[in-house]
A and B are shown apart, each in its own frame.
Chain A
Amino acid sequence: MRRALHSAGFALLTVWIAAPLLPLLIWAFAGRWVYPALVPQDFTLRAWDQAAAPQQQVIAATGTSLGLALTTAVTATVLGALAARGLVLYRPPAAGLVRLLLLAPVLVPPFALAVGVQEVFVRAGLSDQPAGVALVHLVPALPYTVLVMIGGYATYDVRMEQTARTLGASRSAVLRHVTLPALAPALLASATLAFLVSWSEYLMTVLVGGGVVTTLPLLLFSTAAGSGNQALTAVLGILTVAPPILLFGVGAALLRRHRAAWADAEPASSSSSAAPGIER
């Protein structure tokens, strides 16, 4: 009974999430489609050809988005990990205040934040260039990476590193053999989140990019609002939606493999508190 409910709920959720994507798929491949036909009369790749044309900027925008998202994923995760390490392991004075400040970008209304940030970036001469946009994407991404990495460090015991040092491991060996493997799930989750934040970021990109830096969401917005080209809009929609879904799939698979490698089969006599404080 419970299992049936569980499956039904899961199916409902899947439909709920997937249903809006279906028209997107149809539009992207629709040829002639006139009222009152429920589905297009024929299918074509015309919209995709269109998207591939240089003057549409689709390929360039995809590249820009990908570059920004990867940069943000790496940078925000490294910074988030360092901040979390400091906050959790060394408990500095006013740690609560620092944590609040780091989370502030998601607490403040996005518009208020974006306008303030734009002002700062313009004064610093960082507006209207990709580097500035890459930097500004850190603002909404950092709260998430900090939060995730604080969670990652919460079950982390720094004495694992200390033990490894006394057993002959240099600092870099400790990072490679102890810290990174232990934090891998959190790092992966953090990088995924940061990638997604940057990938779908609109407001900050518009304000700081100044129209010079065109990303996929910007292109999607202007195409949807101004061109009347439904098919091209659908193609852009798919290009925008697909990478996050792929990323989640790959991330989940990696995490599952990671867990499997650590857990294997539980021992017959399950005394669970084998190593408290290391990794649950």
Chain B
Amino acid sequence: MPFLSSTSAPGLRLERITVTYPGHREPVLDGLDLDVDDGRLLALLGPSGCGKTTTVQVASGLLTPGRGAVYLRGTEVTRVPPEHRGAAVVFQQPMLLPHRTALDNVAFPARMRGRSHRDARTSALAHLERVGLDALADRYPRQLSGGQAQRVALARALAAEPAVLLLDEPFSALDPSLRHTMRDLLTTVQRELAVTTVLVTHDQTEAAAVADTVALLDRGGLLQQAQPADLYARPASLAVARFLGCPTALPGHVTPQGRFACPLGELDLPDAVAHRGPGHLVIRPEAVQLGTGPDTVAAVVHSVRPEGAFTALVADTAAGPVHVLLPPGRPPAPSEHVRLHLPVAHRWVVPRAG
């Protein structure tokens, strides 16, 4: 059972990885630490240029880091060449060999390990079946659609029986509807085989949809690694909150009693807020409601902008602008006076930056 591991070591561990490209002064990865639990799916999320692709290159052995170490299931592989490492990569484009059929493409890894042609093809067919493409085994890559080709690429990577599967924006070139199908396929196959997987993406919805854990990367360093729900509910910093679509940040400080003091008064906080001292109150736009009554704050509508079926509203309060995402209905007009309800359960405080 190649995918199972008896040890409790992480499937993939990156330790203080630093990479600087020639001719650049700033490192693209700056002392990055990353653990991926064995058999789990980690989404590596971040804006473009944050070092996601470089991380994949380092993990796969296509790039040797200037400093730091790479471990696969507890064994150091920092200088092991890619073909002996067992870290299969799938890129945004399928990168199938154009002169070989789908079946022979999937048989490629087994052939490279010295298995017989017949043997390799037999197991290749099983892998094609897993991604639902056994009927197209004899097609050449150019006879496949983009989604089909990417499924063949996934089957081929799995056929390598890798210690870790590295997916670098594998669905970004596909149509949105197809992307959803591919995500489902990925999660099904990944759970079935329990293969340690890193999915690189710039799409937070995708990350949240498929990942056991999400690692948020920015400027070559790890901002936060957490389960998707935690990442949204409890961002570790203002940068994390902002990246995940939470632009509201009201400055103030948390009192020793665990209340948030700001120009709006002293606001209650959930018990989970352990931070004390200066910080920013963050609350997701979709959690804020228009309301009346005692538990609301006064605000003046600053801007109104449609966002799909929803309406994005920015309202100025005494403590600063609050972003609101309103469900379909009749939204207030600019300069209108409104009252905002900020549910306590959705409040969170991040430390003041710097």
Residues on A facing B (Cβ under 8 Å):
157, 159-160, 162-170, 173, 177-178, 181-182, 261-267, 269, 271, 273-279
Q: Please report the C-alpha to C-alpha distance between residue A263 and residue B108 in the assembled complex, in whole angstroms.
A: 20
- 84-105 of chain B: CB within 8 A of chain A: 84-85, 87-91, 93-99
Residues of A close to B149: CB separation below 8 A? 274-275
| Interchain CB contact (< 8 A) of A166 among B85, B99, B143, B148 | B85
The answer to whether A262 and B95 have CB atoms under 8 Å apart is no
The answer to whether B143 and A167 have CB atoms under 8 Å apart is no
Residue of A nearest to B148 (CB): A274
Shortest distance from the beta carbon of A264 to any chain B beta carbon, whole Å: 6
Q: Please report the C-alpha to C-alpha distance between residue A162 and residue B160 in the assembled complex, in whole angstroms.
A: 14
Q: Given the interface contacts A181-B99, A267-B139, does A163 sit within 8 Å of B91 by beta carbon?
A: yes
Shortest distance from the beta carbon of A165 to any chain B beta carbon, whole Å: 4
The answer to whether A168 and B109 have CB atoms under 8 Å apart is yes
Residues of A close to B84: CB separation below 8 A? 168
Q: Given the interface contacts A267-B139, A271-B145, does A177 sit within 8 Å of B108 by beta carbon?
A: yes
Shortest distance from the beta carbon of A254 to any chain B beta carbon, whole Å: 14
20 contacts between A and B (CB under 8 A): A162-B60, A163-B89, A164-B108, A165-B61, A165-B81, A166-B83, A166-B166, A167-B83, A168-B84, A168-B113, A177-B97, A267-B143, A274-B145, A274-B146, A274-B148, A275-B93, A278-B94, A278-B95, A278-B98, A279-B142
| Interchain CB contact (< 8 A) of A262 among B140, B156, B173 | B140
The answer to whether B61 and A166 have CB atoms under 8 Å apart is yes
| B229 touches A (CB below 8 Å) | no
- 258-309 of chain B: CB within 8 A of chain A: none
The answer to whether A182 and B98 have CB atoms under 8 Å apart is yes
Q: Given the interface contacts A166-B82, A263-B140, does A278 sit within 8 Å of B99 by beta carbon?
A: no
Per-residue CB proximity of B46-76 to A under 8 Å, as 1/0? 0000000000000011100000000000000
The answer to whether B93 and A162 have CB atoms under 8 Å apart is no
The answer to whether B112 and A263 have CB atoms under 8 Å apart is no
Residues of B close to A178: CB separation below 8 A? 97
Residues of A close to B142: CB separation below 8 A? 262-263, 274-275, 279
Residues of A close to B88: CB separation below 8 A? 166-167
| B240 touches A (CB below 8 Å) | no
The answer to whether A275 and B112 have CB atoms under 8 Å apart is no
Residues of B close to A182: CB separation below 8 A? 97-99
Shortest distance from the beta carbon of A161 to any chain B beta carbon, whole Å: 9
| B144 touches A (CB below 8 Å) | yes
Q: Please report the C-alpha to C-alpha distance between residue A275 and residue B95 in the assembled complex, in whole angstroms.
A: 7
| Interchain CB contact (< 8 A) of A173 among B94, B95, B112, B157 | B112
- 208-237 of chain B: CB within 8 A of chain A: none
The answer to whether A166 and B87 have CB atoms under 8 Å apart is yes
- 110-144 of chain B: CB within 8 A of chain A: 112-113, 139-144
The answer to whether B83 and A157 have CB atoms under 8 Å apart is no
The answer to whether B97 and A166 have CB atoms under 8 Å apart is no
| Interchain CB contact (< 8 A) of A167 among B93, B112, B146 | B112
The answer to whether B83 and A168 have CB atoms under 8 Å apart is yes
The 9 closest A-B pairs by CB, nearest first: A168-B112, A165-B82, A163-B95, A167-B109, A267-B143, A166-B89, A279-B98, A271-B145, A160-B95
Residues of B close to A278: CB separation below 8 A? 93-96, 98, 141
Q: Please report the C-alpha to C-alpha distance between residue A159 and residue B91 in the assembled complex, in whole angstroms.
A: 8
Q: Please report the C-alpha to C-alpha distance between residue A261 and residue B93 in the assembled complex, in whole angstroms.
A: 22
Interface size of B in residues (CB-CB distance below 8 Å): 41
Residues of B close to A265: CB separation below 8 A? 143
Q: Given the interface contacts A173-B112, A275-B96, does A168 sit within 8 Å of B143 by beta carbon?
A: no
Shortest distance from the beta carbon of A13 to any chain B beta carbon, whole Å: 32
Shortest distance from the beta carbon of A164 to any chain B beta carbon, whole Å: 7
Q: Please report the C-alpha to C-alpha distance between residue A248 and residue B198 in the assembled complex, in whole angstroms.
A: 50
Shortest distance from the beta carbon of A16 to any chain B beta carbon, whole Å: 37
The answer to whether A166 and B62 have CB atoms under 8 Å apart is yes
| Interchain CB contact (< 8 A) of B89 among A157, A162, A275 | A162
Q: Please report the C-alpha to C-alpha distance between residue A274 and residue B152 in the assembled complex, in whole angstroms.
A: 12
Q: Please report the C-alpha to C-alpha distance between residue A277 and residue B141 in the assembled complex, in whole angstroms.
A: 12
| Interchain CB contact (< 8 A) of A157 among B61, B85, B93 | B93
The answer to whether A165 and B141 have CB atoms under 8 Å apart is no
Q: Please report the C-alpha to C-alpha distance between residue A191 and residue B129 in the assembled complex, in whole angstroms.
A: 42
The answer to whether A261 and B141 have CB atoms under 8 Å apart is no
Residue of B nearest to A160 (CB): B95
The answer to whether A181 and B97 have CB atoms under 8 Å apart is yes
Residues of A close to B60: CB separation below 8 A? 162, 166
Shortest distance from the beta carbon of B247 to any chain A beta carbon, whole Å: 35
Residue of B nearest to A174 (CB): B83
Q: Please report the C-alpha to C-alpha distance between residue A27 and residue B160 in the assembled complex, in whole angstroms.
A: 65
- Most chain B CB neighbours (cut-off 10 Å) among A163, A178, A277: A163
Residues of A close to B96: CB separation below 8 A? 275, 278
Q: Please report the C-alpha to C-alpha distance between residue A169 and residue B156 in the assembled complex, in whole angstroms.
A: 13
- 142-166 of chain B: CB within 8 A of chain A: 142-146, 148-149, 153, 156-157, 160, 162, 166
The answer to whether A274 and B82 have CB atoms under 8 Å apart is no
Q: Given the interface contacts A159-B95, A279-B98, does A165 sit within 8 Å of B145 by beta carbon?
A: no
Q: Please report the C-alpha to C-alpha distance between residue A165 and residue B84 in the assembled complex, in whole angstroms.
A: 9
Residues of B close to A264: CB separation below 8 A? 140, 143
The answer to whether B83 and A169 have CB atoms under 8 Å apart is yes
Q: Given the interface contacts A168-B112, A274-B149, does A159 sit within 8 Å of B97 by beta carbon?
A: no
Q: Please report the C-alpha to C-alpha distance between residue A77 and residue B93 in the assembled complex, in whole angstroms.
A: 29
Residue of A nearest to B141 (CB): A275
Q: Given the interface contacts A167-B108, A177-B108, does A271 sit within 8 Å of B98 by beta carbon?
A: no
| Interchain CB contact (< 8 A) of B146 among A157, A168, A170, A273 | A273
Q: Please report the C-alpha to C-alpha distance between residue A263 and residue B82 in the assembled complex, in whole angstroms.
A: 31
Residues of A close to B91: CB separation below 8 A? 159, 162-163
The answer to whether B108 and A159 have CB atoms under 8 Å apart is no
Q: Please report the C-alpha to C-alpha distance between residue A212 and residue B300 in the assembled complex, in whole angstroms.
A: 96
